[in-house]
Amino acid sequence: MSLLRKELSDLKIDINPKRWISPYHNTSILHLILMVLFYHAVGVLLLVVGSAAIQFSVNGNVGPSIPRYLAPVLGAGPIEESIFFGIPYYATGNQFVVIISGVTWVMLHIFNTKSMDLMNLSYSNWLFVMPSFFYSLRTWISGKGWFAILAHSMWNGLFFMLGCAYNEYPCAIFPSTGMSSLYPLVSIVLSATIVVSLTFIFYKRRCRIRAEIGKSR
């Protein structure tokens, strides 16, 4: 019971908007799961409210209709988290650099569309990922970047399965069949491996720097 009270107390601290660019007060697995659910719930709320506002203010907005496939959807977790959060954080050790790169990641989602026309930009997608920026930022600066990668891929996979079930896009790994489908798959696996490896290299380097600073004191 005391454990539950502590978790609720920590959750109350961490969902406070004043702490949304600070490390988590608690970094247990349960707390990280609750925080990812919290931020995605905020994202869904923004999506619902924002979509209605967009339809009203941007008359004729139809949003994107890009087909999605399983491999790129799952690969986005390690690739995006590493490029926009992990590598900037461990390469510089500067939280504000990560904020800039993370905001860039959020803004890129508005162009997740076939057309650059104002009426067809992905405003809803942009609104949905805004809270995810805070989750990824806080998870990385709390030293739990691996969980951000895992949560990102699992969440993407869940939405892919829902979209597949409701025929919003094809239930396929890639659009092509046969041997030609292996090339983009290998490309995604290779890209993910490279950026995650770079993140780990910068992480080890940051650990050495901290250790050397600690010895010199």
Phi, psi of 174 (to 5 degrees): -145, 160
- In this predicted structure, what is the pLDDT of residue 40? 95
- Confidence band of 121 (pLDDT split at 50, 70, 90): confident
Q: Radius of gyration over alpha carbons of the chain, in Å?
A: 19
Q: What is the overall mean pLDDT for the chain?
A: 86
Rounded CA-CA distance 51/128 in Å is 10
Q: Which two tokens stand for residue 95?
A: 């939280």
Query: Where do the structural domains in the chain lie, given as residue ranges?
Result: 2-171+181-216
Rounded to whole angstroms, what are the CA distances from 152 to 12, 77, 121?
23, 5, 23
How many beta carbons lie within 10 A of that of residue 101, not counting itself?
18
Angle formed by the axes of helices 2-14 and 29-57, nearest 10°: 40
- What is the value of pTM for the model shown? 0.89
Rounded to whole angstroms, what are the CA distances from 156 to 101, 112, 163?
20, 15, 10
- Confidence band of 169 (pLDDT split at 50, 70, 90): confident
